[in-house]
Amino acid sequence: MNLSRRPRRLRELTAVKPMLKEFSLLKEDLILPVFVSDTCIEKVAIDSMPGVYRWSIEGLVEQIENWQNIGLHAFALFPCISDQKKCPEGKEALNPESICYKAVKEIKRRFSDLILIADLALDPFTSHGHDGILSASGKVDNDLTIEMLCKSALIAAQSGFDVVAPSDMMDGRVAEIRNALDKNGFHDVAILSYSAKFCSSYYGPFRDAIASSQNKPIDKSGYQLDPANFREAMLELRLDEQEGADILMIKPAEPYLDVIKAAKEKFSLPIAAYQVSGEYSRIWAAGKLGWLDVDKCAHESLTCIKRAGADLILTYFAERIAKSL
């Protein structure tokens, strides 16, 4: 055959491949989501998320040193509280002695060179499992919820969090949180906004992890994005940029690579992506059945998320992958 181009030539040159690799996954790209429980004495395994645990504060502080030693330096903390502390308004989110606020203080006492991210949402604290306060009609009240989030952001900043991450998808919350932080002198606390958070079926294991599972599925389509809507996602990203977000995030990650790519091209802010619990668990489930190689699939998935445009990736594979990088 008379071919002027034979792309396979370079693929056959094994030593050249690293030089031609367009994207490489780095430890510095990864943020590890961590669950902190006020009911744990030892770490407790989460059945639907193999290799992921709920931690006590003491256990977490000890474990962070191990994670640091393999090159992980950024952690997003999520609370798991007892049912007795939950209520319709999620008031435990405003308790300065709540589990994540206590945890960050202990971590900061021992470690000075970590980035700690506070999740701002009410679903771990509400008895009904929604991300906000419900109105008399049963819908999430946007403005009342934002008032709670602003107060929660201030407590998070006072406790020592470097970044607050509103994940609720309420309209206008980034501007209000930024204003509240700045008014109280927390100009250096950054906002990582869950800007395009889709109403996804991939969140189930996470709800197990924070003990927010209900007897019937919770319909969050009144505030989370329709998976079919690309332009609406672009609108949400643009609004959060205008309101003062420091980092824009898309969640879930791999099912929404087109949104990640477009966000990278359209916005000058760093782009984060959250490889969510369902993405993690489906790879593990197939691996346990012998259908897929867990490590290879995890690495491939994360590489594709980075290739699409993510500068930062929240992933439960962070520990496992960091050991291999």
Give me the catalytic one of 85, 86, 220, 251: 251
Give me the catalytic one of 197, 220, 264, 306: 197
Residue 4 one-letter amino acid: S
DSSP letter for each residue of 204-229? HHHHHHTT---SS----TTTSBPTT-
Q: Specify whether the CB–CB gap between 142 and 148 falls below 8 A.
A: no
- Catalytic residue list contains 197: yes
Helix (H) or strand (E) holding 290: none
Residue 158 in 3-state DSSP? helix
Gap between the Cα atoms of 7 and 53, Å rounded: 45
From 165, 181, 172, select the one nearest 240 (Cα to Cα).
Answer: 172
Degrees to nearest 5, angle at CA 15 with 13 and 19? 100
Q: Specify whether the CB–CB gap between 56 and 41 falls below 8 A.
A: yes
Place of tokens 């509400």: 126
- Catalytic residue list contains 183: no
Q: Which letter does DSSP use for residue 311 in this model?
A: S
Gap between the Cα atoms of 201 and 223, Å rounded: 15
Gap between the Cα atoms of 275 and 13, Å rounded: 33
**Cα dihedral value 110, 113, 33, 54, nearest 10:** -10
For 302, residues 6+ apart whose C-beta sits below 8 A from its C-beta are 25, 29, 30, 275, 313, 315, 317, 321
Q: Which runs of consecutive H residues, i.e. helices, occur in 26-172?
A: 57-69, 99-110, 142-159
Q: Which residues are catalytic?
A: 197, 251
